[in-house]
Amino acid sequence: MTDAHLAIIVLAAGQGTRMKSSLPKLLHPLAGQPIVSHVLATARALDAAHVITVVRHERDRLAALVAEDLPESIIVDQDEIPGTGRAVEQAVDALPTDFDGDVLIINGDVPLLDAATLATFIDAHRASAAAGTVLSAHPDDSTGYGRIVRSAAGDFDRIVEQKDADDTERAITEINAGVYLFGLAALRAQLAELTTENVQGEKYLTDVIGLLRRAGAEVTAVPVADAWLVAGINDRAQLSEAALTLNQRIVRGWQLSGVTIQDPATTWIDLKATLAPDVTILPGTQIQGATVVETGAIIGPDTTLRDCEVGENAVVKRTDATLAVIAAGASVGPFSYLRPGTLLGADGKIGAFVETKNATIGAGSKVPHLSYVGDAVVGEGSNIGAGTIFANYDGVAKHHSNIGSHVRTGSHNVFVAPITIGDGAYTGAGTVVRKNVPAGALAINVAPQRNMDCWVHANRPGTAADAAAADSLSTAESTSTTESTSTTESPSTTESPSTTESGE
């Protein structure tokens, strides 16, 4: 139910200079989505009466993301006055005038914080008489964070930023997590008092705490149970640490829900992926995006799936796949590359060193070895011979190939698209299929083979090949004087297509 007395401000206007990146800090991915998307999702889950997101650096990209992830949010553009205090000041001005309640402020770069922790934090504030409450933590390393300075009696007095702190203050291990709750009136009054008189020349939101205390108001710090929840991301080292922590929790969560994950250290699962019970994930595997894996499937080792669907009992090993659908019982890999638009039917197979793109391969059909299948439909129960290329590109445009059901194509074929091969047709080994093949026909267009007898002796005399051939020919002559060893250009009347159907 919407909390009518709660407004949330998400701070997302900072530049993120410490990332040293052309990509805005808050758009760097973490478990498959931008850092700030985690924060927006948490804000959304709290169901506040109003949400305001403050943007400035790369504002259009941030605003577009907010519009997608948290469409109910008002977007406020921070002006040229820097600092979290200025961001909140402008956000508060954008609140509807009839709102009167609590304002929750969260940093856009604290992505691991969950809605349940924040709900407890809000309850703690409301149960107290404090004008403001700050979420605090005791991380292993407090470097970079604002420190919570307490009086001799232990009362929360103010927050000092790392850059403004003296040695004694820097030794403080209790830090400001970047999450605050204020009564609107108290917040508004103190924001007006902020100055930029500090090392960074910014209006610090954190100064509101000290100002409230000077004004005689009560301020409390509520410690978070686990410091990892409030890890702020300022640089790429912190990004990888947060990613590792989050991944450990995601992996453990799936293990507890019935997924076998052999090696958590080398398994990376994005937040939006879904795994059914009795899925097995082998080492070196990344399950990315909104990938869904059904029960009994075995993924890995060394496999990356991005936004894929994998059906029940399918097996996918040493494979890189994006936007592919692998139906139940199908088998993929090892060393397969499935590009967007690959649809492999039930019990089908995409085997070793096969690349597919925009390809529908029907139920029970197999592309077992060393092939490229692009812009194609293959029917059911067909077998594509080893080393086959679907030549889909004429240098200007892409063309489509249509292979029927129960087709057997020979090894080392080229299908020059646009092309259609009818149901039950065969093609011979080495065929370059340029014309449509009717159902049930055998297509073969390889030039008849010519053997030029004694070519080696005439052209490469004295070589090992010449000696070996001489030995072989003399043995053949002594065992058979009647049969000719020459088979030069004798066309066969019963051509064999020599397909390489996989026995598996």
Told to check if 202 binds Ca ion by CB under 5 A, we report: no
- Taking CB under 5 A as the criterion, the residue among 109, 207, 320, 380 binding Ca ion is 109
* Residues contacting 332, CB < 8 A, separation 6+: 314, 315, 316, 317, 319, 321, 326, 338, 344, 349, 350
Q: Quickly list DSSP for 389-403.
A: EEE-B-SS-B--EEE
Annotated binding site: 11-14, 25, 78, 83-84, 109, 146, 161, 176, 234, 339, 357, 372, 383, 386, 392-393, 411, 429
Read out DSSP for 267-308?
Answer: EEE-TT-EE-TT-EE-SSEEEETT-EE-TT-EE-SS-EEES-
Distance separating alpha carbons of residues 324 and 344, to the nearest angstrom: 8
- The single residue among 132, 232, 348, 404 that binds Ca ion, judged by CB under 5 A, is 232
Least distance in Å: CB of 235 to ligand UD1?
Answer: 10
Among 220, 234, 238, 260, binds Ca ion (CB under 5 A): 234
Binding residues for acetyl-CoA: 386, 392-393, 411, 429
Residue with tokens 């090992």: 464
CB of 68: closest distance to ligand UD1 in angstroms?
18
Instruction: Closer to Ca ion by CB, 234 or 360: give it.
Output: 234
Q: Which does 282 bind (CB under 5 to 8 A by kind): ligand UD1, Ca ion, none?
A: none
Binding site for ligand UD1 (CB under 6 A): 11-14, 54, 78, 82-84, 86-87, 107-110, 145-146, 159, 161, 175-178, 204-206, 232, 234
Name every residue whose Cβ is closer than 8 Å to that of residue 128 and which is 6 or more positions away in sequence: 218, 220
Whether 222 and 125 have beta carbons less than 8 Å apart is answered as yes
Of 230-238, 259-267, 301-309, 395-403, the segment contacting Ca ion by CB under 5 A is: 230-238
**CB 108, min distance to ligand UD1, A:** 3
Per the structure block, which two tokens stand in for 262? 């052999």
Please identify, using beta-carbon distances, which residue of 175 and 221 lies nearer to ligand UD1. Answer: 175
For residues 111 and 387, which CB has a smaller minimum distance to ligand UD1 in the complex? 111
Q: Which of Ca ion, ligand UD1, none is residue 12 near (CB under 5 to 8 Å by kind)?
A: ligand UD1
- Identify the residue whose tokens are 């970079």: 144
| Residue 108 binding: pick among ligand UD1, Ca ion, none (C-beta 5-8 Å cut-off by kind) | ligand UD1
Instruction: Tell me the residue nearest to ligand UD1 as measured from the CB.
Output: 146
Instruction: Please report how close the Cβ of residue 112 comes to ligand UD1 at its closest, in angstroms.
Output: 11
457 counts as catalytic: no
DSSP secondary structure code for residue 425 in this structure:
-
Question: Mutual orientation of helices 115-127 and 35-45 as an angle, nearest 10°?
Answer: 50
Q: How far is the CB of 170 from Ca ion (least distance, A)?
A: 17
**Helix (H/G/I), strand (E/B), else coil: 148:** strand
Of residues 336, 347, 337, the one with CA closest to residue 383: 347
Would you tell me how many other CB atoms lie within 10 Å of the CB of residue 256? 8
Least distance from C-beta 306 to Ca ion, angstroms?
A: 29
Catalytic residue among 369, 399, 400, 412: 369
* 175-183/102-107 β-pairing: antiparallel
Q: Which residues contact 160 (CB under 8 A, 6 or more apart)?
A: 146, 147, 149, 169
Structure tokens at 116: 């349940």
Angle at 75 between CA 70 and CA 78, to 5 degrees: 140
Which residue lies nearer to ligand UD1 by CB, 21 or 262?
21
* Rounded-to-10 torsion of CA 284, 288, 293, 297: -20
Q: Which does 161 bind (CB under 5 to 8 A by kind): Ca ion, ligand UD1, none?
A: ligand UD1
Least gap, CB of 136 to Ca ion (angstroms): 15
Q: How far is the CB of 18 from Ca ion (least distance, A)?
A: 8
109 versus 320: smaller Cβ distance to Ca ion: 109
Binds 51, which of ligand UD1, Ca ion, none (CB < 5 to 8 A, cut-off by type)?
A: none
| Measured distance CA(1)–CA(12) in Å, rounded | 26
Question: CB-wise, 62 or 251, nearer to Ca ion?
Answer: 62
Query: Which one, 175 or 259, has the nearer CB to Ca ion?
Result: 175
Stretch that binds Ca ion, among 20-28, 52-60, 225-233, 447-455 (CB under 5 A): 225-233
Residue 206 partner contact from ligand UD1, Ca ion, none using kind-dependent CB cut-offs of 5 to 8 Å? ligand UD1
- The listed partner (Ca ion, ligand UD1, none) that binds 204, CB under 5 to 8 Å by sort, is ligand UD1
The beta strand positions in 102-250, using DSSP E, are: 102-107, 132-137, 147-150, 156-160, 175-183, 219-223
Report in angstroms the alpha-carbon separations of 403 from 350, 366, 380, 425, 426: 16, 12, 9, 9, 11
Q: Please say which residue, 232 or 422, places its beta carbon nearer to Ca ion.
A: 232
Residues tagged active-site: 369
Footprint of Ca ion (CB under 5 A) = 109, 232, 234
